[in-house]
Amino acid sequence: MAYAIVETGGLQFKVEDQGILEVPRLDASEGETITLDRVLLFVDDEGAVIGQPTVEGAKVEAKVLEHTLGPKIIVYKQKRRKNYRKKRGHRQPLTKLEITALARP
């Protein structure tokens, strides 16, 4: 079982072959194939390769399934005794990816 740790959007994700992954919104159209080349760790049957900071030559191929919105987050501000209240909602834009291939360096 091979897996990799990749960085995208300032976050790190563990990816496996044929896995589904939600990452911060990427600038790619639906159905497009993208390459995640910031691989920090690659593990398979031959062993582990740890990047310093990235693994040279390792790639993760992914297909963009759809662009969605995350769950609604409520932001509520209040100052006591001042009659000040604000309620705002936020939904983070996400991209859903399907991992198609892991390429060892």
The pLDDT tens digits of the residues spanning 36-85 come to: 999 999 999 999 999 999 999 999 999 999 999 999 999 999 999 999 99
The amino acid present at 27, given as its one-letter code, is D
Q: What pLDDT sits at residue 104?
A: 84
Q: Where are the domains of the chain?
A: 3-103
**What share of the chain in percent tops pLDDT 90?**
93
Q: What pLDDT sits at residue 105?
A: 80
Task: State yes or no: pLDDT of 1 exceeds 90.
Answer: no
SS3 26: coil
Q: Which of 3, 11, 1 is nearest to 55 (CA)?
A: 3
Q: What pLDDT sits at residue 99?
A: 96
Sheet bearing 59-79, strands edge to edge:
20-24, 84-103, 59-79, 33-36
Establish how many alpha carbons lie within 13 A of residue 91's alpha carbon, considering only the half-sphere containing its beta carbon.
Answer: 9
Task: State yes or no: pLDDT of 22 exceeds 90.
Answer: yes
* pLDDT band at 35; cut points 50, 70, 90: very high
Q: What is the pTM of this model?
A: 0.85
Q: What is the CA radius of gyration of the chain?
A: 18
Burial class (CB in 10 A: 0-12, 13-18, 19+), 6: buried
Q: Which two tokens stand for residue 40?
A: 């920090």
Average pLDDT, the chain: 95
